[in-house]
Structures are given as C-alpha cells and as structure tokens.
Structure 1
Amino acid sequence: MSWLDLRYARQQQIQRLDPVTDHCQICHLLAGYEFPWDITRSLELAMLKTYCVPSISQLLDRTNEFHHHTQKRYDDTGLLVAEILKWGYDSDRGRESIRRMNAIHGHYPISNEDFLYVLSTFIYEPIRWNERFGWRLFAETEKLAIFYFWLAIGKKMHIRDIPSSYERFAQYNQDYERQHFIYSDSNRRVGESTINLFLSWFPAWCRPLFRPCVHGMFDDLTLAAFGYSNPPVAVRNLVENSLKLRGHVSRWLLPRRKPDFFTDSKLRSYPDGYELNDLGPTKMLSHLNHSPKQE
C-alpha cells in the first residue's frame, strides 16, 4: 500500500458508511483520528460566537462561571462533548454526559431558539473551519453525519423544532446570527474572559501579540457583537495563511494510529484525572450529584 493510500484509507472507510445509521462511528473517526485539532479549535470558535447573543451572554455573565472558573468551564464543556464523540450518545458514558448537560441546563431559563442556535454551531462551525483550513475537505457523507449526530443529541436534550434537513438548519444558523448578533456589554465581558483564558496558555510576553490574531478569526458580525474594531488586514492574512499552511503540512503526515480526543488530554482543571460527577458549575455540583438521573 502506498503512502497516499494510507493517508486516505480512513476517508475511504468512512465513505463506505451510512451518514444516517452510522453517524456516531463517522463522527468518532473525524474527531478522534482525522481532525482532532481542527474540530477542537472550531468548537472553541463556535463557543465564542454564542457569546455574541445577549440573551446567552447575559445569562453566563450573571452566573460568574466564565469569570471566576473560566478554565473549569472550558474543560467541562470540552469533556462533555468529547465523551459523547468518543463513546457515542447511546453508550453508558454518552448517556450520562447528556443527563449531566440536561441537569445543568435545567437550572437556567434558556429559550428554545437559543438552544437551537448553540446546537447549530456544533454542526456548521466545524464544517466551515474545514472548508477554510482542513488538510482535506469533508465529503458529503461526513457533513451529513455531523448533522445527524447533533440532530440526535438535540432531541435527547429535548430541543424542539430542530430543522429536519441539513440545508434548513444551516439557513437557521445564518438567519439567527444576522438577527441576534447585537453588541452588549455582557458579550464583551464573557468574550474577554474566554479570550484571556486562551491567551493564558501562552507565555506572558507573547500574549499581546496573539490577541489581535484571535480577533483575526472573527467575521464582521462577530467583531461588531463583541465591540471590537476590525484587525489590520495583515493580521487577518497572517492568521488565515498560517492555518492554511498547517492544513497543507498536515496533508503530508502519516495517518494517526491512536485516537486523540479531548478526554485524553492532560487538563489544567483535572491534573489527576476526572469523573463525570466532577463536571458542572462549582456551586451546582452537590445538587447535580444528588439529583434524580434523567436524560
């Protein structure tokens, strides 16, 4: 078998699967083997974009979780999503992760349309990222599998009126952003707390250099909703071209033999490992761990 055959063997394996019935397996392969870094980064961008909606950012701002426990909130979100991607939503750990999410969300007055928008970002931000920076493009089978995967999870989260087609939900996502991305001080505060978290992962001397690069990832609607000015064209080009270069280089790497899920990372919040019972807002953990289990 040639190097090229090895590099694209997993894509060929995915192409033999059905996006409707095999979407869990396809998403497992995409998130764990084909695009682990890209999917993590695209979901970080998705998370930031949800803060452009005042009804979402005001709720997060009031809880103070994103200001006082930013790293834990980030790690918990990543772990819950990764547990479902790694094990599937019908596994024991997948079902427990969804129960955990439902219990956390059940404490807050979140509108169904906000739930719908957040769900849509988990589908379309990874796809858009892939179109810009992927080492190869998602095939139609893979894009549909991502849609059906999150459609099933949305139903398990009791989200109502989820558009039943890939195209209709993509349109909902775009229409929602045009209508609801409005500047609010809470957008700025929650966004700043999260961006500061990302920057804290780098040495202090280079953080001021990286900040405009984060802004360079945002489209005009997102920048306006956060109250940021447009970064210089040179910064946008640097970010865009650097990520495209990474994609080109990745194309020539040997395929991953071992999975790389967020659950396998050494996390700042859980240096000694974690249990699902550890995940959730700090003030709510005791209640969550003693509440009746429900999906």
Structure 2
Amino acid sequence: MFTTPETASRRYEDTTVLIGEYLAHDPREERAVKAIARMNYLHSPYVKSGKISNDDLLYTLSVFVSEPISWVGLFEWRRLTDLEICALATFWKSIGDAMEIDYAGRLKRSTWKDGIEFYEDLAEWAQHYEAENMVPVASNKKTADELVPLLLFYVPRPLVPFSCQAIGILMGERLRWAMMYPEPSLVVYAITYTILLLRRFVMRHLTLPRIFPLVEFSKKDPKTGRYNHNSY
C-alpha cells in the first residue's frame, strides 16, 4: 500500500493512528483494544496469503523496540535507563503476543526473565534477519519513493533536496543500500549531525520539563464517532 500515491498517504496515516492509540492508552482501555484488533484485522489477509510472514512481523516488532533505544541514546538529551528499556521491551512483547507472533526457534530463549533479556534476544535475531533479507530490490525503492515525499510534505521546497539526503543519513547504511538510495554528501552529513547534536544540547540545558502532557489524539467526536489528531 505504500507503493502508490493513491494508497501511501492513507497507509501512513492509518499506521500513525493505530499505533498511537495503543501507545497512548491503557492496554485495558477500549481504544487500545480496538486499535490492536483493527491492526490484526488489516494484517490477517496478508498473513493468510503468505505475503506477510511471521518473521516479517517479528522484524517489524524488533524495529519498534530497538530504534527508539538507539535514537534516544544518540540524539536525545539523556539515554534511557535500564528500567525504561525493560518497560519498552515488555510493552512491545505484549503487542507481539496480541499479534500472535511466534518466537519459537528464532530467538535464543523461549522465556525471558525481563524486558531487557527479550530486547537483547530480539536485537541479535534482527541483525541476522537484516543481513539475509535487507537487500536492494526495485520494489524497495518504489516504496521509499512514495514514502519520502510524505515525510517531506511540510518542508519548504528549497529545502527538499537537502532533506532527502538527510533522510538517507537517518536510514543508516544498510537500509539506504536496500532502498537503493545514493550516499549523501559529506556536507549534508556534517550539517545533519550538527543540527541533531545542537538540538540535544538545547533540550538538555535550555528547555524546561513539559508542563502539560502531550495528547496526540482527541476524544471521540460525539457526532461522527471519529478520533482526530490534535496537531499535524
């Protein structure tokens, strides 16, 4: 669905909303339960047809565990604590369970004493999966070519060429190679990392803690029954 202009934006928005719903609400709340059920419903025909494998789902789960930990460690104002990593991995393990992802024969262990053990097993497995499966294919580039413009929708036109290269940097070497994107210039590397490190400094030393909680989605509209983004 990411491979055509007609469906890419809808898929992007649907994914954002569904994941946001079960991230933002208690797992026992109706909104979280419905979001997980809807996600499974959307995946089910692709899983049944074999277009999405169990390993594909497991790898995607690993990205949601590993990437925040990596990103925060590199670019946020502090690293995650072990307790936060444990909580993050435990949460996503519960999502994997709700999706009926099979871990048997893939991860080192069949049971884990805590979220950190699960994270370590999952990250190790994901590295092997990437080495075997993350390779250049024309469909990868087609998908990226539809998704990147969505990410740059609000970027001023003069900055789009730079931003495209910056996205290539954030992809990382392996993903960029698999997506068949060119190596960004050294100048763009320098500017991108300077911006990110300056942001980290400002967040650590020059900003106050958030006063009010960040609420991404509205309550249900009594007339339409729909939920909406509070910001775009």
Separation in 1 of the partners of 2:101 and 2:78? 32
Name the amino acid aligned to 2:80.
Answer: F
SS at match of 2:84: helix
Matched, 1:97 2:48: no
* Number of the residue aligned with 1:56: none
Name the amino acid aligned to 2:72.
Answer: N
What is the number of residues matched between the two proteins?
Answer: 208
* Number of the residue aligned with 2:66: 124
Q: Do the aligned partners of 2:162 and 2:188 also contact (CA within 8 Å) in 1? A: no
SS at match of 1:75: helix
Separation in 2 of the partners of 1:207 and 1:143? 34
* Number of the residue aligned with 2:207: 253
* Number of the residue aligned with 1:227: 180
> CA 1:230–1:200 in 2, change beyond 3 Å: closer, same or farther?
same
Separation in 1 of the partners of 2:217 and 2:143? 25
Separation in 1 of the partners of 2:141 and 2:225? 31
* Number of the residue aligned with 1:76: 14
**Post-superposition shift, 1:205?**
2.8
* Number of the residue aligned with 1:263: 217
Separation in 1 of the partners of 2:88 and 2:75? 18
> CA 1:242–1:171 in 2, change beyond 3 Å: closer, same or farther?
same
Separation in 1 of the partners of 2:122 and 2:225? 34
* Number of the residue aligned with 1:42: none
Please list every run of 5 or more consecutive structure 2 residues that lacks an aligned counterpart in the other structure. Answer: 113-117, 219-223
> What TM-score comes out, normalization by structure 2 length?
0.83
SS at match of 1:229: coil
Separation in 1 of the partners of 2:225 and 2:13? 10
Identity of aligned pairs, percent? Answer: 30
* Number of the residue aligned with 1:201: 154
SS at match of 1:136: coil
**Residues 20-49 of structure 1 deviation map (CA, whole Å, 9 limit, x = unaligned):** xxxxxxxxxxxxxxxxxxxxxxxxxxxxxx
> CA 1:228–1:170 in 2, change beyond 3 Å: closer, same or farther?
same
Q: Do the aligned partners of 1:79 and 1:262 also contact (CA within 8 Å) in 2? A: no
Structure 2 matches for 1:185-200, cutoff 5 A?
185-200=138-153
Separation in 1 of the partners of 2:177 and 2:10? 28
Q: Do the aligned partners of 1:89 and 1:98 also contact (CA within 8 Å) in 2? A: no
Please list every run of 5 or more consecutive structure 1 residues that lacks an aligned counterpart in the other structure. Answer: 1-59, 265-272, 279-295
Matched, 1:106 2:60: no
**Post-superposition shift, 1:274?**
7.3
Name the amino acid aligned to 2:34.
Answer: E
> What TM-score comes out, normalization by structure 1 length?
0.66
SS at match of 1:107: helix
Structure 1 residue runs of 4 or more that deviate by more than 4 Å after TM superposition:
none
**Post-superposition shift, 1:197?**
1.0
Separation in 2 of the partners of 1:74 and 1:262? 16
SS at match of 2:171: coil
Structure 2 matches for 1:151-166, cutoff 5 A?
151-161=93-103, 163=107, 164=112, 165-166=118-119
SS at match of 1:263: coil
Separation in 1 of the partners of 2:42 and 2:85? 29
Q: Do the aligned partners of 2:66 and 2:119 also contact (CA within 8 Å) in 1? A: no
Matched, 1:179 2:132: yes
Q: Do the aligned partners of 1:120 and 1:169 also contact (CA within 8 Å) in 2? A: yes
1 or 2 for the larger relative contact order (CA 8 Å, sep ≥6)? 1
